[in-house]
Structure 1
Amino acid sequence: MPLHIQTPYIRSQVASRRLGKDVLFKLEAMQPSGSFKLRGVGAVCDARRAAGSRRFVSSSGGNAGIAVAYAGRELGVPVLVVVPESTSARARDLIRLEGAELIVHGASWAEANMFAQSVLSPHDAFVHPFDEPELWQGHSTMIDEMAAAGPKPDAVVLAVGGGGLLCGVLEGLARNGWGDVPVVAAETQGADCYARSIAQGRPVELPAITSVATSLGAKRPCDAAVEWATRHTVENIVVSDAAAVAASLRFLDEHRILVEPACGAALAALDAASTVLAAASRIAVIVCGGVTATVEYLQALSSRER
């Protein structure tokens, strides 16, 4: 049995009425670890344990580390997660809560990732948070569920950090005969490495992450995410931190589900200027989740961003 669960795929009456279109939410925030990350991470961890790995090592800004820690606990395999100093105390606590060893190293995910790679032993398995084909295959299963459950959307909206979710969704669209469905890739200003990469036609590395959406905190997207845009319609939308936070709070009010600003970027994209969404009658949004935010944190950000 996979470690992830099949999540609800529901039509939102309130969002549909506001936008004058059918809006459907794939509720990945309902995964046991709190985000979509468990799909790919679970698949990788399952395979690595079967191959004889005795410990899982990962680097993460939060959600991937929580997913690896959850997977290790469920599979009975020790876990080491390395996070940067920017990772919130709540995320660190949630990783420890799953029983994983936690090391804080470096100012950015890139530095944490280098350290995690340096401590690998021959019997360890490294679980990359976004750049791994087996991970993308795991993420793609959400599209299998959407295709089995409901009508074909005219567009899919999702948030992009390093590009793991994007690669998985695009793989799933292709496998299910939905290769003609355009994808809207949402980011926040200050974490928009993918939009900048697409604009320049090559992976671009940001000098720093300045957005509050720290779960989008890869300074450079994976090569595969950039390459996908050469053979699939991808529209980039960059929203403000304020819009992402406001969308997260509205989603909480309207659907009683708490998500991070990183996920809020995709929700905010629904109200942004978009050629793809303007032409769509039915829109599917990947509510990717995230458990490192609290209501108080979102409210504080909202007050600060005004």
Structure 2
Amino acid sequence: MTVSRVDVVAAARRIDGRIRRTPVLRVTPTLTFKLELLQHVGSFKPRGAFNRLLSAKEQGALTGQGIVAASGGNAGLAAAYAARELGVPARIFVPETAPAPKVARLRTLDADVVQVGSEYAEAYEAAMSACEESGALLVHAFDQPEVVAGQGTLGLELLDQVDGFDTVLVAVGGGGLIAGIATALEDRARVIGVEPELAPTLHRALEAGEPVDVRVGGLAADSHGARRLGSLAFEAARRYDFGSVLVAEEMIVAARNELWHEYHLAVEHGAAVAYAALSTGAYQPVPGERVIVIICGANTDPTTLA
């Protein structure tokens, strides 16, 4: 099972008019932010959710039973938003540890919210059972071809918006975003995954030669809560040879605060992960290297910004 650039281009046509073309911010001559935190419901996830639902609708697989999704928060928000826009019901399973602002926002999107377990994997198991019982469409948080292709539309936008770049730094949880961007860019730029030390799904998969279960925790666990890298992301990592940079908890906190104080960007911890690699030196560009950092999510409590 693979995703091609043709799939990403098709996704871009399919979801056109449903998602925002988010802006870029040129910080320095060699540093650009992609402000995907300005996407609908505050993250990149609607790209994949809309492509999944609209693809299913084309095939007659989107029925009155609606959709089911499991999420630490952002994927559920995206699935609920897309379902509401398309007029079908959504049932979203989230861990009991999901941040209260994300759970409250899910309910404003008319979703039936079910909290179960302490991490994403438990919510996913419950969602799978609900799908089998109801016949609803499963919208995976990161490991479905339509979802990966939808996330890849962000990469196509970068090619239109930025006149030449060498490297893209992307936060990794389950890997749908980095897989999609790498597929969209192919050999046009290098893509590097950045992960919290306490949720190293890509790093461990590359070490083991296959996706493996890891313990996940830390401040970014609500966004980076997948217990293992998706199979599509691992296939993309082998095909496009992207690696992993790890960042510590204190690096993530510092990067999040810097994004607020220096750029007035209020981001969740998971969205500060990619910038943490750059701001703390975990990733050091060579002189003249043109870097894009994906700022991917805004669903946070702003009162926690120092």
What is the rounded CA distance, in whole Å, between the counterparts of 1:223 and 1:47 in structure 2?
20
What is the rounded CA distance, in whole Å, between the counterparts of 1:186 and 1:279 in structure 2?
20
What is the rounded CA distance, in whole Å, between the counterparts of 2:253 and 2:125 in structure 1?
31
Q: 1:56–1:225: structure 2 CA closer, same or farther, 3 Å change rule?
A: same
User: 1:90-109: per-residue Cα shift (whole Å, max 9, x none)?
Assistant: 11101111110000111221
Partner of 1:302: none
User: 1:251-304: per-residue Cα shift (whole Å, max 9, x none)?
Assistant: 12222221111111101011344577236521011111141x1122343xxxxx
Please state if 1:210 is matched with 2:217: yes
Partner of 1:245: 253
Partner of 1:163: 175
Point out 4+ residue stretches in structure 1 off by more than 6 angstroms. Answer: none
Q: Which amino acid aligns with 2:262?
A: E
- Partner of residue 10 from structure 1, selected from 19, 22, 25: 25
SS in 1 for 2:239: coil
- Partner of residue 31 from structure 1, selected from 26, 34, 39: 39
SS in 2 for 1:167: helix
- How far did residue 69 of structure 1 move? 1.1
Partner of 2:7: none
User: 1:28-87: per-residue Cα shift (whole Å, max 9, x none)?
Assistant: 100111000011111112222442422111000000001111111111111000001121
- Partner of residue 50 from structure 2, selected from 38, 42, 48: 42
SS in 1 for 2:194: strand
Partner of 1:130: 142
- Partner of residue 149 from structure 1, selected from 161, 166, 182: 161
The answer to whether the 8 A contact 2:195-2:273 is kept is yes
Please state if 1:110 is matched with 2:110: no
- How far did residue 122 of structure 1 move? 5.5
The answer to whether the 8 A contact 1:63-1:290 is kept is no
What is the rounded CA distance, in whole Å, between the counterparts of 1:232 and 1:163 in structure 2?
13
Report the number of matched residues: 286
What is the rounded CA distance, in whole Å, between the counterparts of 2:125 and 2:246 in structure 1?
28
Q: Which amino acid aligns with 2:154?
A: M
What is the rounded CA distance, in whole Å, between the counterparts of 2:287 and 2:191 in structure 1?
13
Q: Which amino acid aligns with 1:5?
A: R
Matches within 5 A, 1:176-191: 179-191=187-199
For normalisation by structure 1, the TM-score amounts to 0.88
The answer to whether the 8 A contact 2:183-2:236 is kept is no
Partner of 2:75: 64
Matches within 5 A, 1:225-264: 225-264=233-272
The answer to whether the 8 A contact 2:143-2:233 is kept is no
Please state if 1:99 is matched with 2:110: yes
Q: 1:10–1:275: structure 2 CA closer, same or farther, 3 Å change rule?
A: closer
For normalisation by structure 2, the TM-score amounts to 0.88
Q: 1:269–1:275: structure 2 CA closer, same or farther, 3 Å change rule?
A: closer
SS in 1 for 2:243: strand
Structure 1 unmatched ranges of 5 or more = 300-306
Q: Which amino acid aligns with 1:116?
A: A
- Partner of residue 53 from structure 1, selected from 57, 63, 82: 63
The answer to whether the 8 A contact 1:2-1:42 is kept is no
Q: Which amino acid aligns with 1:128?
A: H
Matches within 5 A, 1:79-94: 79-94=90-105
- How far did residue 217 of structure 1 move? 0.8
- How far did residue 223 of structure 1 move? 1.7
Matches within 5 A, 1:259-278: 259-273=267-281, 277-278=285-286
Q: Which amino acid aligns with 1:99?
A: D
- How far did residue 133 of structure 1 move? 0.7
What is the rounded CA distance, in whole Å, between the counterparts of 1:280 and 1:225 in structure 2?
29
Partner of 1:303: none
SS in 2 for 1:229: helix
What is the rounded CA distance, in whole Å, between the counterparts of 1:271 and 1:149 in structure 2?
23
What is the rounded CA distance, in whole Å, between the counterparts of 2:168 and 2:190 in structure 1?
7
SS in 1 for 2:199: coil
What is the rounded CA distance, in whole Å, between the counterparts of 2:179 and 2:148 in structure 1?
6
User: 1:177-222: per-residue Cα shift (whole Å, max 9, x none)?
Assistant: xx1522121111211121121122221211x322110211101001
What is the rounded CA distance, in whole Å, between the counterparts of 2:104 and 2:288 in structure 1?
41
What is the rounded CA distance, in whole Å, between the counterparts of 1:99 and 1:159 in structure 2?
29
What is the rounded CA distance, in whole Å, between the counterparts of 2:188 and 2:18 in structure 1?
30
Q: Which amino acid aligns with 1:296?
A: T
